[in-house]
Chains A and B, each alone.
Chain A
Amino acid sequence: QQQVKQSPQSLIVQKGGISIINCAYENTAFDYFPWYQQFPGKGPALLIAIRPDVSEKKEGRFTISFNKSAKQFSLHIMDSQPGDSATYFCAASKNQGGKLIFGQGTELSVKP
């Protein structure tokens, strides 16, 4: 079963716009929620992460919003740039020695 569901599968945004990617999880034991960014031809790299004791985390133009009661979290990219065009993966983990469960991925394209 898919424990972390991510949407949309693809997203096209104009330069300067806001990109929003959503994830939902089922297991309330998850306690760490990272987002990874993958450029073509590269492996994913950690972008930003949040723990469930806070509702929002911001790093530059990237913000994670976390809703514990709804079991949802989302990535917001403000002032989206063509250089943000990549595939984004949300993930979740519980205390299992470092294993992550990834969402299906979102391919973001930012048009100039």
Chain B
Amino acid sequence: DVKVTQSSRYLVKRTGEKVFLECVQDMDHENMFWYRQDPGLGLRLIYFSYDVKMKEKGDIPEGYSVSREKKERFSLILESASTNQTSMYLCASSLVGNQETQYFGPGTRLLVL
């Protein structure tokens, strides 16, 4: 059974803190994605990685960075958390290709105070 896991389900951080969200997939997928989900805005792509050490900006990369040192692990970093980064963060993975299914983790709900 395919599995994408995220390091935390809930996280509370203070403004200005550095925040790490980790995602691990066990399907040997090449592609990995980070989205944020906000009511009325749907899922918006933050960053995308198609291979180890490769990354590509999505639609809303400002204030975020990513790291992919191993194929199975993709980290999202908030360099200096702000209140407008309070959101649900979803990680996904897929095989390489245009029409491959994306498999999502359960999400991390981040609250920045």
| Residues of A participating in the B interface, judged by any CB pair closer than 8 Å | 6, 9, 31-32, 34, 36, 41-46, 49, 51, 89, 93-105
Chain B positions within 8 Å of A100 at CB level: 45, 102
Are the CB atoms of A43 and B96 closer together than 8 Å? Answer: no
Chain B residues closer than 8 Å to A34, beta-carbon distance: 101
Instruction: List B residues 41-81 near A (Cβ within 8 Å).
Output: 41-45, 48, 50, 58
* B residues neighboring A (CB under 8 Å): 4, 31, 33, 35, 39-45, 48, 50, 58, 90, 92, 94-107
- When distances are taken between beta carbons in the complex, the residues of chain A under 8 Å from B50 are 97-98
- Taking a contact as CB atoms under 8 Å apart, the answer to whether A49 and B99 are in contact is yes
Establish whether residues A42 and B42, one from each chain, have CB atoms under 8 Å apart when the complex forms. no
A92 to B106, CA, bound (A): 22
Interface contact A105-B42, CB-CB below 8 Å: yes
A102 near B42 with CB under 8 A, answer: yes
Residues on B with beta carbons closer than 8 Å to the beta carbon of A95: 98
Q: Which residue of B lies closest to A3 (CB)?
A: B59
Decide if B90 touches A98 in the complex (CB within 8 Å): no
A89 & B104 in contact (Cβ 8 Å cutoff): no
Contacting pair A9 B40 (CB below 8 A): yes
Do residues B42 and A98 form an inter-chain contact, with CB atoms below 8 A?
no
